[in-house]
């Protein structure tokens, strides 16, 4: 079937590239993905990677609207950062160096304390579009988890935690790799470790090595060890992010498994959190950015 989109939505992360052919009514006509994320490309390879997915959609030279790490300093073209407090995506996107009509959405930055985001601001804008008037805190789990304060339609402040990347590094590249080589997690062990880390975050480093010792001396199983590793790291994050989630409305935006861990950890602290699908929020944010761009033209 021939696809002739009015515009093209692009989510270009570090590891993956996802594109949607969009109608003038913002319905999805087609979609496809590749593993050609920003992290594996040099600057000259971005246009071929994109064309490889959308070549059949270019008969009308449609607008191509991109979010994510494609706009990083190491990406196709560095896009601006907007300074919080501000409404996400409220500034014009930056053009990419190509004959195609490619625009890259701006990220967000915070000056005190210093922090940045790229890609998550589009999910935030999408959540706001689907939940108008919502005030509270958004948690966006991932390699670099974000906690974001939303008020009166603006991102007021945010804080990033390296929790996901720490988990991957510890489980794959340290002595703990011998103890946590499991695919699934023990739920009860996870919740207990979260509570332990929130109560005593200063004991995180010793608690991590205790996983190895318990494996050697007490036959701690890999599912429980992996659960405790995840729980200790997420619990330490929750302890540091307490000013964000304590007594606030919280929504978690992400993929199923990791989001469920965060909602479970928050529920154990008496904080009910709603879940929102990251892909749906990203596409809603790109649609919102397209509407804003049409108004400004």
Per residue of the chain (297 residues), give pLDDT as tens: 578 999 999 999 999 999 999 999 999 999 999 999 999 999 999 999 999 999 999 998 899 999 999 999 999 999 999 999 999 999 999 999 999 999 999 999 999 999 999 999 999 999 999 999 999 999 999 999 999 999 999 999 999 999 999 999 999 999 999 999 988 889 999 999 999 999 999 999 999 999 999 999 999 999 999 999 999 999 999 999 999 999 999 999 998 889 999 999 999 999 999 999 999 999 999 999 999 987 665
* Cα distance between residue 157 and residue 118, in whole Å: 15
pTM of the model: 0.94
């Amino acid at each position: 079937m021939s696809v002739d989109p009015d515009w093209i939505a692009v989510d270009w992360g570090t590891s993956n590239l996802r594109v949607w052919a969009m109608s003038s009514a913002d319905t999805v006509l087609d979609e496809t993905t590749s593993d050609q994320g920003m992290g594996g490309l040099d600057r000259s390879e971005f246009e071929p990677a994109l064309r490889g997915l959308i070549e059949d959609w270019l008969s009308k030279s449609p607008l191509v609207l991109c979010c994510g790490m494609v706009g990083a300093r190491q990406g196709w073209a560095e896009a601006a950062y907007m300074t919080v407090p501000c409404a996400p995506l409220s500034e014009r996107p930056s053009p990419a160096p190509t004959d195609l009509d490619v625009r890259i959405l701006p990220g967000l930055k915070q000056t005190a304390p210093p922090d940045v985001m790229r890609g998550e601001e589009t999910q935030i804008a999408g959540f706001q579009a689907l939940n108008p008037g919502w005030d509270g805190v958004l948690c966006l789990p991932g390699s670099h988890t974000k906690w974001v304060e939303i008020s009166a339609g603006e991102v007021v402040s945010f804080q990033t935690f390296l929790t996901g990347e720490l988990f991957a590094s510890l489980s794959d590249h340290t002595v703990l790799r011998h103890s946590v080589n499991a695919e699934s997690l023990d739920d009860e062990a996870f919740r207990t470790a979260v509570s332990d880390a929130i109560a005593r975050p200063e004991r995180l480093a010793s608690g991590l090595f205790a996983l190895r010792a318990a494996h050697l001396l007490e036959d701690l199983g890999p599912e429980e060890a992996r659960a405790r590793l995840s729980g200790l790291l997420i619990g330490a994050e929750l302890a540091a992010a307490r000013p964000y989630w304590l007594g606030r409305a919280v929504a978690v935006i992400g993929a199923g498994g990791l989001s469920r861990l965060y909602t479970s950890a928050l529920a154990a602290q008496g904080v009910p959190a709603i879940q929102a699908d990251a892909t749906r929020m990203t596409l809603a944010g790109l649609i919102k950015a397209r509407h804003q761009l049409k108004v400004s033209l």
